[in-house]
Structure 1
Amino acid sequence: MKILTCPMNGPRNINEFQCFGPVKNDPDPATTSDADWARHLFRVDNSRGVITEWWRHVPSNYFFLAERNATTNEVIRTFTPQDAEARP
């Protein structure tokens, strides 16, 4: 059984979570074409290495971030969005 640590609920079975994909920076809507918006919304980078993703603990509906190695599928750490804003 794979365990994921929720910042609010602690270690839980991975089946209690849903992944919402990598964190992306939104482009400027005033200068972005429709084609570029579609590419931003629907294309996945599929990159190797460490990525930061949005996750949700389904029973509590709590959203948080997780750093995960996309190559090994190892979760490095989980943290709240507020913790991400506090990092330099």
Structure 2
Amino acid sequence: MRELELARKEFIQANVKVQNKTKIIFPKILCYYMKDCSFQIAKLLKMVIECMSETVQGAIHEFLKGKYDDCIVWSKYNSSFRYLIHKELARQ
């Protein structure tokens, strides 16, 4: 269970971006996750904020002030996925 939580945190930290301290850019896959889990945007935002560093959390709280719709941008979903296989493993 800890590995899943760590993976979620790492994914969010790597893919959620704060732009010019005015917008939060979420990957589109989080939108699908939110709909599948029947989350409200506030609950998803809370989950994302908990995964971010303290400095980013503070910046997000500063510009949010309860108006989620103006601050959240969904990035396009890139469906291409590739496996990276080390050369040593490919030879075996």
Return the TM-score normalized by structure 1. Answer: 0.24
- Relative contact order (C-alpha < 8 Å, sep 6+): which is higher? 2
User: Which has a greater percent of helix?
Assistant: 2
User: Which has a greater percent of strand?
Assistant: 1
Return the TM-score normalized by structure 2. Answer: 0.23
